[in-house]
Structure 1
């Protein structure tokens, strides 16, 4: 399937469930199912999976951060076909864990799909689109340092998911929500750091 025409979270979850064959799924299987010409849907897929309990798997936040940095970087420079090095595209995840994650995400995905439509579209167009892409690169940079704190990266992944979903659907309301979550997280981190010093 392709997400170029039907940009819904439920279609994205369907694509994740259909990726690959056998008991586990590779990153390349996911790229093949979603389509290598669709960078932002893959960014969205990686970020929403990290919102799920998958973020508690050791190494998953760091791996996701590296993949997102590469993907968003390519979107930033205007690449039409995404690319990942083999060492990342061959990484595999148990299908059972992937299905549990997509099932866990199904209800919020349905809510997001029902309430999204193009609004404040100028927020999703250049030059503000470029600013949002830079934010989607900056947030994952913190994840390798936060990995020792279980599930904390899910909040940052939620912000990236909101921002990428807003870009994909041209919905400025979700972009604003993504920025609010991002600055809220930054405020909490700064407060904690100040209290600790």
Structure 2
């Protein structure tokens, strides 16, 4: 069982490589990136919007909201055990600057090779439905939180990074990393909720 799971795991380096585009167009459709990851499972699909939100591209107005809604919809479909994700055409057709995306991935890929040494299949009980549902629910909450947090500079990075870490844990079958992402999300909920409350009170 362990060796079979190990053989199916995708490394972080491979995950980033699949996000890179070799086409020549200036823009890459958001839906295109999701489709590339669809055959590899929901973990890689969640990693796409989370990664975009956590890069400088995420500073573009509207991107945190789009990626947050995408994370919410994909997570909801994990909970509903859907085999194929559905996203509105308006989201799928959004263009992401290809050069910025590839440059961001290219910057991180060398470090990913070192990180991959520590990402191994373990704590496989996290793949059971109850834990998978817990991760999906947490990712959905993070996605929704990213929408109002767009109004507060940099704070939306916490839920985005949380989803990215959980997605990497799901992709590489590393339950320890997935649990770390859950813990980071809990911290993000507290900090984000407190900041939103102060903002509304002010």
Query: What TM-score do the two structures reach when normalised by structure 2?
Result: 0.84
Task: Give the Cα–Cα distance (whole angstroms) in 2 for the partners of residues 5 and 192 of structure 1.
Answer: 41
- Tell me: CA distance 1:25–1:137, structure 2 relative to 1, closer, same or farther (3 Å): same
Q: Which residue of 1 aligns with 2:180?
A: 177
Query: What is the aligned counterpart of 2:150 among 147, 150, 153?
Result: 147
Contact 1:54/1:97 (<8 A) preserved: yes
Q: Which residue of 2 aligns with 1:166?
A: 169
Give the superposition deviation at 1:149: 2.4
Task: Give the Cα–Cα distance (whole angstroms) in 2 for the partners of residues 193 and 28 of structure 1.
Answer: 31
Which sits farther off after the overlay, 146-155 or 173-182? Answer: 146-155
Query: What is the aligned counterpart of 2:42 among 22, 27, 39?
Result: 39
Task: Give the Cα–Cα distance (whole angstroms) in 2 for the partners of residues 39 and 194 of structure 1.
Answer: 32
Q: Which residue of 2 aligns with 1:77?
A: 80
SS at match of 1:78: coil
For residues 158-183 of structure 1, the C-alpha deviation after alignment (integer angstroms, 9 at most, x for no partner) is 11111122222221210221122112
Contact 1:37/1:81 (<8 A) preserved: no
- Tell me: CA distance 1:194–1:86, structure 2 relative to 1, closer, same or farther (3 Å): closer
Contact 2:12/2:172 (<8 A) preserved: no
Give the superposition deviation at 1:105: 2.7
Contact 1:25/1:94 (<8 A) preserved: yes
Contact 1:49/1:101 (<8 A) preserved: no
- Structure 1: state its 5+ residue gaps: none
Give the superposition deviation at 1:58: 0.8
Give the superposition deviation at 1:106: 2.1
SS at match of 1:18: coil
SS at match of 2:83: coil
CA RMSD of aligned residues (A): 2.4
Q: Which residue of 2 aligns with 1:188?
A: 191
SS at match of 2:66: helix
Query: What is the aligned counterpart of 1:95 among 77, 94, 98?
Result: 98
Give the superposition deviation at 1:195: 7.1
Give the superposition deviation at 1:20: 4.9
Tell whether 2:128 aligns with 1:120: no
Contact 2:155/2:192 (<8 A) preserved: no
- Tell me: CA distance 1:30–1:140, structure 2 relative to 1, closer, same or farther (3 Å): same
Query: What TM-score do the two structures reach when normalised by structure 1?
Result: 0.86
Give the superposition deviation at 1:136: 0.6
Give the superposition deviation at 1:190: 5.2
Q: How many residues align?
A: 194
